[in-house]
Structure 1
């Protein structure tokens, strides 16, 4: 009955008082519409009258008549009168909110006349309502579109969900829900009139569970906003509407991984109860929402946490030594690792494998920190008798990298060119050699600069002109001359360290390695080998290390287990297998070049560098890794250093010194 207009209601009232069949023309003349319109009205009226077990009957030659006993007719008349009274009880504000609900929640296309009939007001009143609604909209919200078919809201999924958020807030305010007590008491019933009951109930339950699980207490503003966001998010997902957000810079993306599991568990729990399909993009979106609401998990079970206190403290101390940054006073790092560690150990022990959505980017942009993390937590594996996957190691690395960012003067540098790769990779390879290793240098296509917030970017290096005025930009040629390099370092020094002592690298690949040259021994450089598999290469290199007494028990097993976790092969045709610190007696590097490429973790490899570092050299790990990744970051550089060279030549080009 709610969908009947005023003419259709009038037709029912007239027919209730008519005992005989009457021609359709009589009703059409009285209501001043065509007979065709009356027939259309009858179809809709009959659907509504089913609830009262009545109908308008049509008989050829006689006309139409409302069929039903007197009691049923009285019920219909009473219902119509009540509905008219209800409509007149709408305040202007309530009517406007109801119009928004029709257009936004129900996604209807409605004409001003239909709205006027529905609310029993004039079209002028509806027009005034729409003008006020229009004034509430902006570039973040949906917009109004009107044509011959009617009026509707249009916009992206982000705009629709943002508008739903604002609408829901206005509705609660109109209902005098202005504090936590009234929200928890009356909010569910109010919201159930707008959104599906099961979604509202499950979201309220899940947020309460979230607070309890994470041992947090959200402020009223965050609590209300998070619940509304989740209700709207799940409501739209139930209609198969997803938000596809653009990826930000990697140094911004990895920050969100600290709460990734919270978002994943929350969304999986809600979606399974509602039988709604979700994807990785939905998890990513929800994770960013949790970050916006300052969701910071805290350890609830202090006794459980105490079991891992010594392990975590030791890991932080070792990472501080490796990265040469004091992280030991960072309570956020400690709490984050403890909170992450407990469910991680549980997952591994019961065989649950998880996927890190940024693993490939982390391996590319944070290779040194990732490898350092692997060294640090290798002791944890041994003590707890677990084996970490590459994905798990990358998640742990995120906590360390976030702490390094907080405690060291890490600069975030973007390298831009028209294609995003190509010439910008060339620039990156050259400037990485003499800028601080701790700095984050990311190669991005030009469009990404304009699509994302660059507030946290410290420096931009570009081979094309950019329309940016609020960040220091260094323009270079696509070939990066020595003059360009001098200019980069000069501006970097002026901006960040006020140190203009510049030591430019040569274009002739005259590398100087301060750390790995101490680990090079000509007897562990094997050139032009004829092996055809990864297993053959490793067996030979490992046996040479063992025969020289450089290893402890478990050396070979630790290398093979690391390969099982995730391949150590790189795009530059190099594999870098490495052993656990505890299995190494004396630090050495093994180098092997092959006559032909072999398959190694799905990549074609012709060079192997076996990393074997002992615990006494832990302070040098970061510097050793930094120099190694400088060597292996490009195929061109690897070929220049190793291709067509014998062991003596490789030893000399790496600056090897005679070892005891």
Structure 2
């Protein structure tokens, strides 16, 4: 049963007098029409009970009649249903009710609406207060009056929008009926449908189309704006900011959208609100398609904000010098990241933050790229005079990682072969054609006779040989086939090729780079720490005392940790400081006596990295081995169980 209907039924079961529909709608924060629809649904639900029936009386309201026995049975059944109002869900619903209420609301009223105890609501209020403060909003508590949220209108909308996104899980990029039920009292389904339709019309006129996520986010933001305007609230925007926005094409589109909504929703949209909608268009994520590269590149670059393009060029150059110099030649990276950064810059300048639902996975999967990019963010923040949160850094990492994978693909090693054929040219050409068709990625160096085979092997170094005759001397792996290559032999060749690929690409699962950098005098197996900053201080102090780092390294590592968590998964964290504070490379390891909270994750193994080397491959290998270790349950268990430093090192073997 829908949670609101369950709450309505609970109220009726515990009320011995008639309840007005208006009172019920106020208690459940929905319209009277919604209550009437819910009552009809409950009529059907109660058909399984002989005596239970909802009685309706004009001017009195509604009452649930029936025997005490059946009422108690129904109460028991409802209480056995898993509660949807618990944990984070309850926390979000409390905030939703506070942000959508026009007046002060009591804890008891919230408790009634969510069908929990007043004590449960009161226990959540400190957490609610802290959450609201991150949006510059204040929870005002007035005895005998109730609770009310106060703060700037922009921040109010931003908070309500984030609550909507979390409640409805709009990462799925669609608002379905169940989600809209959750949001009753915030967004009206009819208005949502109209707004989304108009946003999609605007999308077709943009230089770069919006992502599905952006269309949903824009729809939600505008729906909230419409609701607030109807209640008499409006965004205040300085005249100089409006003058700047009027120069943008997006302002014209926002004006057109507002005019359409004014007609269809019977509302007057003030000029400052048109400016607010313009900001959301400017800050929305857009899609970058290959057609933007296939077209004339100069034209595409001309459409991109030149400030964003300039900063991206500088950033890509810095990152390429650390990771791979070929990145700077990747036009898709330059154009795609510039288009993204243009939107990001608008979001950051105007305080329109955007959550990255993939940030945890991005940091775990692409830690090396994330760390390199993050190291250049402070200087970029200083130039732009904006704060760049890790959510935005995560989106930028995806662009760099895609470029790295394109590079990897272009450098992908395809196996090379020589065909040894003792028959005529016609037969050998037919065999070569069949093999090319069967395995187009395979590089056929040449077709040779037995007498020329040895010389060809020495010069070309093939990975294997495909021969139509048995060979006495097998200098490289060989598969024997007949000249006409029938179907069963084609399967044989394909299996041989795949096996050769696996053998060629096999990598050691050992941890040579970690072993090389971990010093036995920096392994501490029983650290008793109260929090992550305590662990960082202990390990940094030991590295300082052993002449690996300067005294400032520990404080620098703490500052780095505040920028973004260094948790990488598998109960492991990898704090690190500035390279300028490193005297010699090394890794300090701390195994904690008990897991500690590390940015809402449990950590028991800490590797403090002090990497002075600038060799790109060594750094890549280190982060690659750490990524493998996170998934290596066998080695992780050994590291947790061993009793001595020597055994700890041997666990990596």
TM exceeds 0.5?
no
* Higher-Rg member (1/2): 1
> Greater relative contact order: 1 or 2 (C-alpha under 8 angstroms, separation 6 or more)?
1
Q: So what's the TM-score if we normalise by structure 1?
A: 0.41
